[in-house]
């Protein structure tokens, strides 16, 4: 009988010869909430999970769509609540301490390190040096005992290349159209490989740009195909005006934004699902925002007369007017959902009209200048 292969010896030799090699599966064990239950569910398939450590997540959208609100606000706060240290790289020089504190972010140095950087190369060097030290200090430590760290880059679109800076000094503003997409792709690819087997993750924001091509009108995201391929999660966002008061009644003035979020890519749930999240200027986002529409789309809440009906796991009917399906009542549905979700996992797909209503403009995996 043939001698069995000695896997342990092979593994030991590999880990000695290849720096940073991960052996086995690296399924996420730590998740950080986006601050919105509906968006959490569309990204991860769980109302409470959100985005994973060990991966790269991108929020892309036009200016004012709520990218920083989610990435630098909600996600940073949720990470800090879980004891995760945050390194916040601000390339836009726009994240004021008062604004972050208004979103309940702890800006003390033992919880958050804010770095102001404008060069892609500097960001890459910073992350690379950090991971070298991290591996050196914690490779011998059990995974559950390693410190957890989240990098937030706000934003990738504002990062510069050396060519950009050199041209600016000469008064030449053509821009570095060739190198920047490649540099962004290389940054994300390297981060994905470095973070995989460690308790380190990254969240980025990026800009979208209106297409100048009349035959291809979809918004473009900078970074190229490689950038999107390397990311585990891509959420496209579009800004819509919020013209209603706290009771949901229509008003003439703008009271906030409706962030139309569409999960363009995820490895943990069904992609291309969307939800509209309300972010009033005065009160901020309700974490339950968007859940009623999500539950209706999945058939969990159904129309009965002028009310919405939910049938729980005990076959009891719960009826409320739409305006009364708020926090406490929605929490009951969420708590019961794990017992009834099998009924709705194969629900009918939404129509094209419904998808368009709840989604953002499709974002193609091209650079802003149309290069692949």
Task: Answer yes or no: is 71 within a domain.
Answer: yes
Alpha-carbon distances of 32 from 35, 144, 151, 319, rounded to whole Å: 9, 16, 12, 32
Distance from the first to the final alpha carbon of the chain: 54
Q: What is the mean pLDDT of residues 239-258?
A: 77
Task: Answer yes or no: is 371 within a domain.
Answer: no
Instruction: For residues 119 and 145, state if they share a domain.
Output: yes
Task: Answer yes or no: is 180 within a domain.
Answer: yes
Arithmetic mean of pLDDT over the chain: 85
Task: Answer yes or no: is 20 within a domain.
Answer: no
Residue 342 has pLDDT above 90, yes or no: no
Instruction: For residues 72 and 157, state if they share a domain.
Output: yes
Task: Answer yes or no: is 367 within a domain.
Answer: no
Instruction: For residues 315 and 171, state if they share a domain.
Output: no
| Number of domains the chain is built from | 2
pLDDT band at 157 (very low <50, low <70, confident <90, very high): confident
pTM (2 d.p.):
0.85
364 or 166: whose pLDDT is higher? 166
Q: What is the pLDDT of residue 344?
A: 65
pLDDT band at 140 (very low <50, low <70, confident <90, very high): confident
Q: Structural domain of residue 108, as residue ranges?
A: 27-286
Instruction: For residues 276 and 294, state if they share a domain.
Output: no
Q: Give the containing element (helix H, strand E) for 13.
A: helix 7-17
10 or 37: whose pLDDT is higher? 37
Half-sphere CA count of 165, side-chain side, radius 13 A: 9
Q: How far apart are CA 359 and CA 47, in angstroms?
A: 19
CATH number at residue 296: 3.30.250.10
pLDDT band at 22 (very low <50, low <70, confident <90, very high): low
As a whole-number percent, the residues of the chain with pLDDT over 70 amount to 85
305 or 217: whose pLDDT is higher? 305
Out of 42-46, 114-118, 220-224, 351-355, least confident range: 351-355
Torsion of CA 78, 80, 86, 89, to 10 degrees: 50
Instruction: For residues 73 and 91, state if they share a domain.
Output: yes
Instruction: For residues 145 and 217, state if they share a domain.
Output: yes
């Amino acid at each position: 009988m043939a001698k069995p292969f000695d896997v342990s010896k092979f593994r030991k030799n590999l880990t000695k010869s290849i720096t940073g090699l991960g052996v086995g599966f690296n399924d996420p064990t730590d998740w950080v909430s986006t601050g919105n239950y509906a968006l959490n569910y569309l990204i991860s398939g769980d109302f409470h999970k959100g985005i994973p450590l060990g991966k790269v997540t991108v929020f892309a959208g036009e200016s004012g769509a709520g990218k920083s609100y989610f990435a630098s606000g909600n996600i940073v706060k949720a990470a800090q609540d879980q004891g995760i240290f945050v390194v916040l790289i601000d390339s836009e020089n726009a994240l004021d301490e008062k604004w972050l504190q208004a979103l309940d972010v702890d800006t003390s140095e033992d919880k958050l390190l804010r770095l102001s950087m404008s060069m892609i190369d500097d960001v890459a060097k910073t992350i690379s040096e950090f991971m070298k030290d991290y591996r050196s200090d914690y490779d011998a430590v059990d995974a559950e005992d390693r410190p957890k760290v989240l990098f937030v880059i706000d934003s990738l679109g504002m990062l510069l290349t050396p060519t950009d800076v050199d041209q600016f000094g000469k008064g030449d503003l053509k821009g570095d159209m060739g190198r920047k997409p490649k540099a962004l792709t290389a940054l994300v690819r390297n981060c994905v490989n470095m973070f995989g087997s460690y308790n380190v993750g990254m969240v980025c924001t990026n800009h979208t740009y209106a297409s100048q091509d009349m035959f291809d009108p979809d918004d473009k995201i900078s970074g190229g195909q490689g950038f999107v391929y390397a990311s585990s999660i891509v959420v496209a966002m579009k800004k819509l005006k919020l013209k209603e008061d706290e009771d949901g009644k229509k008003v003439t003035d703008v009271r906030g934004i409706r962030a139309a979020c569409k999960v363009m890519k995820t490895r943990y749930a069904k992609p291309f699902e969307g939800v509209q999240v309300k972010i009033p200027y005065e009160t901020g986002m309700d974490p339950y925002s968007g859940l009623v529409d999500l539950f209706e789309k999945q058939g969990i809440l159904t129309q009965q007369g002028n009310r919405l009906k939910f049938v729980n796991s005990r076959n009891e009917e719960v009826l409320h007017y739409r305006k009364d399906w708020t926090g406490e009542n929605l929490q009951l549905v969420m708590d019961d959902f794990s017992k009834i979700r099998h009924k709705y996992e194969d629900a009918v797909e939404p129509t094209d009209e419904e998808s368009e209503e709840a989604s953002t403009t499709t974002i193609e995996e091209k650079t802003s200048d149309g290069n692949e």
